[in-house]
Amino acid sequence: MKIGPRLDLRQVQRNSTPEGSATAIGRRGFLGTTLAATALAAAHVGAGWADDGPTGAVPEQLAALSGAGKPVMLAAADIRDLRAGLHGTLLLAQDAGYDSARKLWNPSFNRHPALIARCADAADVSRAVNFARGHGLRMAVRGGGHSLSGQSMCDGGLVIDMSLMKGIDIDTKGRLARAQGGVLLGELDRRTQALGLATTLGTATDTGIAGLTLGGGMGRLMRKYGLACDNLRSVELVTADGERRRASARENPELFWGVRGGGGNFGVATAFEYHLHPLAHKVLSGERIYPYSQARTVLAALAELAARAPDELSLGAEVFNSTHGPQVGRFVGWSVDYIGDPNVGQRLLEPLNRLGKPLFDSIGAVSYLAAQGAEGAATVAVPSQTTIYTKSGFLPSLSPPLFDELVRRFEALPGGLDASAGMSQMAGAMARIAPTATAFWNRPAAFDFLIDGNWNDPSRAEQYIGAIHSLWDAVVPFTEGYYVNTEPGADDKRLRATYGENYPRLVRLKNQVDPANLFALNANIKPTVAG
């Protein structure tokens, strides 16, 4: 179980999931703060948004918001027409199920859309896109609902919800998996692992495959087999004109280039086809936690081993501060995933054994499903119970000055703030693909870096966010660009650093397929021809 940004942070800011859902082990096991299992229960948030109204009732006019945030009034006849034309369901605020459908995993985002179209198929998605475009509505797209960045939900607009679209087909002979846009990575992992196969996906098992893959898709297998988007063979999507298109190396190749790392800028992806790799044996996975006094030593040793690690080996490191539970204080840890022979992996880790006896050690040979936390995992993204705030960036290298800043800044964090800074190893096979081969640009980066803070006291939110910003300001000079799946947004300078030389080409593609910027809730590539 890893602890870097795409690693054990899934137990904290990416995936504070219940035991039996995504396995509460690793750092959370060490700290003893496993959450109790919870259902996606409806919560009353005021009479206008409660779940106890009559299902199917439609007001004569419904207030909504445009993409620019201006008021839009929707007529009852238009809403009824949309509802009647869907194979799925259309939820308004007073409908049963609305409040649970609008919840995201990250409770920092408490948004209230005017309409939620729970689509049953690609035809529903097309109809919903046409409705949003025709009425000038703000629009968000929800795949799995994990949405660390909160962009799969919006206030006052239309949400296209694909959580009902769960189809998975496996071609064992051709080593291909086809999955619809509402599938969670744990669901796909379980189907492929039953056949001794796997493909690169993320590490938070209740993450939707759609947003994950469109943003690039980093996971345990990426150093050996590339990113999720590198394993993508085709994608079916609905573009801003409501048309259903298939994109691959042969069909709509420019669109296929753009969706592999360009996020949700170019359409609603309704189905994905992935290349699969044999993986039937156990893997070496887990982490070790040490006292904070060893932080610089642990980080330096990890960096030294990572610099000569084979593709099968992925390492991560983290410094973190815990203010709750039986283990309170600051700690440092490192994590491993080795997808070759676990005995070989143990020998490779010998240099890290010299760090001494850890406070916690979970490293062992486990099934790939266990490493992914996908054994008996939930089929929905169960919301976290703490407020979460993140900042992220790619690290070209690890260095003692970075370690010094992290150690010093963590010592200055205010009480009551649980915080972590994780580093997840990249490079390997993904770095041997040219940055211009797909929209994902930052392939040469050595590590992905993620800072997160989470807390329970809303009255101190401003103080805690300020503390995270201070920490981020100290380390941002060490970064270049950021992973588009982890933040609500970034300024133009950071966005351009994220897409590098690919940015002008992405703008040209955006001009062609979404000139009005209907798909704006993402790491947004703004069209130059938009009005």
- Predicted pLDDT at 459: 87
Same domain, 349 and 201: no
User: Helices 122-135 and 76-85: crossing angle, nearest 10°?
Assistant: 160
* CATH code at position 322: 3.40.462.20
Same domain, 73 and 136: yes
User: Helices 492-499 and 503-513: crossing angle, nearest 10°?
Assistant: 100
Same domain, 264 and 311: no
Secondary structure element (H or E) that encloses residue 348, with its range = helix 342-348
- Predicted pLDDT at 279: 97
**Contact present, 189 and 368 (Cβ < 8 Å):** yes
* Euclidean distance between CA atoms 179 and 172, whole angstroms: 14
Tell me whether residue 490 is in a domain: no
Question: What's the angle, vertex CA 490, arms to CA 486 and CA 495, rounded to 5?
Answer: 95
pTM of the complete model: 0.88
Beta bridge partners of 160: 117, 141
Which residue among 431, 447, 478 closes a domain?
478
Residue with tokens 């297998």: 221
Same domain, 454 and 384: yes
- Predicted pLDDT at 449: 96
SS3 507: helix
Question: Measured on CA atoms in the order 217, 220, 224, 225, is the torsion positive or negative?
Answer: negative
- Predicted pLDDT at 46: 29
Which residue among 219, 254, 278 closes a domain?
278
Same domain, 304 and 441: yes
Same domain, 240 and 353: no
Q: Please state, as a whole number, how many other Cβ atoms lie within 10 Å of the Cβ of residue 152.
A: 30
- Total domain count for the chain? 3
- Predicted pLDDT at 44: 27
Same domain, 61 and 145: yes
Same domain, 342 and 265: no
Cα Rg of the chain (Å, integer): 22
Q: Which domain holds residue 94?
A: 51-161
- Predicted pLDDT at 323: 87
Tell me whether residue 469 is in a domain: yes
- Predicted pLDDT at 38: 25
Tell me whether residue 3 is in a domain: no
Phi, psi angle pair for 332, to nearest 5° = -135, 150
* CATH code at position 178: 3.30.465.10
* CATH code at position 96: 3.30.43.10
* Euclidean distance between CA atoms 251 and 261, whole angstroms: 18
- Single out the residue of 174, 168, 156, 255 nearest to residue 214, CA to CA: 255
Nearby residues of 70 by Cβ (< 8 Å), 6 or more positions away: none
* Euclidean distance between CA atoms 7 and 28, whole angstroms: 12
- Predicted pLDDT at 248: 98
Which residue among 161, 195, 223 closes a domain?
161
Same domain, 19 and 89: no
Tell me whether residue 507 is in a domain: no
Same domain, 92 and 190: no
- Which regions of 197-312 does DSSP assign to beta strands (E)? 197-198, 232-238, 244-248, 268-275, 277-278, 283-291
Tell me whether residue 467 is in a domain: yes
Nearby residues of 343 by Cβ (< 8 Å), 6 or more positions away: none
Tell me whether residue 501 is in a domain: no
Secondary structure element (H or E) that encloses residue 391, with its range = strand 387-395
Tell me whether residue 496 is in a domain: no
- Taking only the tens of pLDDT, the chain with its 531 residues reads 333 333 333 333 333 322 222 222 344 344 432 222 222 222 222 223 333 344 568 999 999 999 999 999 999 999 999 999 999 999 999 999 999 899 877 667 788 999 999 999 999 999 999 999 999 999 999 987 776 667 788 999 999 999 999 999 999 999 999 999 999 999 999 999 999 999 999 988 888 999 999 999 999 999 999 999 999 999 999 999 999 999 999 999 999 999 999 999 999 999 999 999 999 999 999 999 999 999 999 999 999 999 999 999 999 999 999 987 778 899 999 999 999 999 999 999 999 999 999 999 999 999 999 999 888 755 555 555 566 778 899 999 999 999 999 999 999 999 889 999 999 999 999 999 999 999 999 999 999 999 988 888 888 889 998 999 999 999 999 999 899 888 766 678 888 889 999 999 999 999 999 999 999 998 899 999 644
* Euclidean distance between CA atoms 220 and 222, whole angstroms: 6
Nearby residues of 296 by Cβ (< 8 Å), 6 or more positions away: 400, 403, 404, 407
Tell me whether residue 497 is in a domain: no
Same domain, 22 and 98: no
Same domain, 379 and 235: no
Nearby residues of 81 by Cβ (< 8 Å), 6 or more positions away: none
- Predicted pLDDT at 48: 33
